[in-house]
Structure 1
Amino acid sequence: MEILKYIALIDQAINENESEIEGLDRAIGDGDHFINLKRGITAIHSMTDQLSTMTVNEQFKMIGMKVLSTVGGASGPLFATFFLEMGKHITDSKPSLKIIAEAFSKAVDGIKQRGKSDVGQKTMLDVLIPVAAKFEELASSNMSTQEIASDVNQFAIDCAHNTKDMLPTKGRSSGLGERALGHMDPGAKSCQVMISAVCQHIQGE
């Protein structure tokens, strides 16, 4: 797996969507979501030389620990959990798509347990949980990698848009009630952007 390449692609995509993510966070979040995302990505970039000499699971674990120690807000520990869990379940430098999908699902479950949250609460999990299930399903099909990437990409976009119609029951926006309707959750949007960056690159390969 070329983790550092995908981190760079995610960084570019987050920058391209800065205004939308920040706008959503100002409307219904804490206002620091984008800053925390950039802090985490910058911290990961600072370890590029060290990471380049490591095995895949070591890379995931070190990224997770770095995110945990440098990223604040509600999302820092959750993203850290994701990387740490991926490191537990991917040990091969060239894992099969099925193994990646299973690891992704376990990592998302780790976020769910850490955040004590679930689907339907207008959070990042409203993208991550359904996308994880869809990814596992497609990874066991006869579809090509590019076809799977295309379907996962569109599904993630749809899931993020679906949060517009949800009432928040978790996190900063939970106190806004119906005032949060019509806005995508910023965490759901940023997760969609990251997933789409990876999927769109795979589609083009």
Structure 2
Amino acid sequence: MIDPNEWVRAFAELIEQHTDELTALDAAIGDADHGSNLRRGTSAVVETLADAAPGSAAEQLKQVGMTLIRTVGGASGPLYGSFFLGCATALGDKKLDTTDFAAAFRGGLDKVVARGKAELGDKTMFDALAPAADELDRRLAAGDSLAAALDAATTAAEDGSDATIPMLARKGRASYLGERSVGHRDPGAASAALLVLAAWRAAQ
């Protein structure tokens, strides 16, 4: 089972470690603020959860989503916020365990799609999250533990992030660059891969 607090703390730690990298990626095809925006937002989330009264996993995930929307600038706040709100809605009164976690993750992905209208190959965070969700479902259906399934999902997310490098951006600010967006990793896909990695760490 995954504790939402552990997941968010692990994500915040990874964002802190990779802030400069994410900012550099965004400098190439965006506003050069993806890393700093996410660092501010994830730090705020960690503080919010630490100060909040204990609640259900869904209530905590809802707090995460609302805090990210409020504190992260640009498109990242609404997208990551929507992901966690979607997780909360899909989870309901259940806990973040095995197939319930997969259902919550899929619910989060669906909310990202609803918000950003992205498809596979658009060079967005969806290119990392969608393969991760598919791999998570496959591994759990095959009988893997949640930790093992998330290990495989992390690899799928990282591969999806790598796959954005040769893509032509079709969404977001990077799409304004046309052919110049080719050859650069999408910063959203890079941070999304860190989100999956954080879930794996929280599942240990």
TM-score (norm: length of structure 1): 0.91
Q: Secondary structure at the match of 2:165?
A: helix
Task: Identify if the C-alpha distance between structure 1 residues 149 and 175 changes in structure 2 by more than 3 Å, giving closer, same or farther.
Answer: same
SS in 2 for 1:24: helix
Match of 1:134 in 2: 135
Give the distance between the partners of 2:90 and 2:51, measured in 1 at CA.
21
- Residue by residue over 1:78-122, the C-alpha shift from the partner in whole angstroms, topping out at 9 and shown as x without a partner, is 111111111112234634311111121121011101112211110
Structure 1 residue 149 displacement after superposition: 2.4
Distance in 2 between the 1:140 and 1:78 partners?
28
State the SS of the aligned residue for 1:46.
helix
Corresponding residue number in structure 1 for 2:161? 160
Provide the residue aligned with 2:78 in structure 1.
Answer: 77
- String of CA shifts for 1:107-148, please: whole Å, max 9, x gaps: 101110111221111011111122112212222112233331
The residue aligned with 2:41 is 40
Higher mean alpha-carbon deviation, 21-30 vs 51-60, is at 51-60
Return 11-20 or 179-188, whichever deviates more. Answer: 11-20
Q: Write out per-residue CA displacement over residues 61-92 of structure 1, whole angstroms, 9 at most, x where no aligned residue.
A: 12212222222201111111111111112234
State how far apart, in whole Å, the 2-side matches of 1:44 and 1:186 are: 20
Q: Could you say if the C-alpha distance between residues 95 and 33 of structure 1 is closer, same or farther in structure 2, counting changes exceeding 3 Å?
A: closer
Identity among equivalent positions (%) equals 35
Alignment match, 2:126 = 125
Q: C-alpha separation between the residues in 2 aligned to 1:16 and 1:71?
A: 18
| Aligned counterpart, 2:62 | 61
Q: C-alpha displacement at 1:30, in angstroms?
A: 1.4
Aligned length: 203
Q: Which residue of 2 aligns with 1:107?
A: 108
Which residues of structure 2 form unaligned runs of 5+? none
Structure 1: runs of 5 or more not aligned: none
SS, match of residue 120 in structure 2: coil
Paired with 1:93 and 1:144, the residues of 2 have a C-alpha distance of: 18
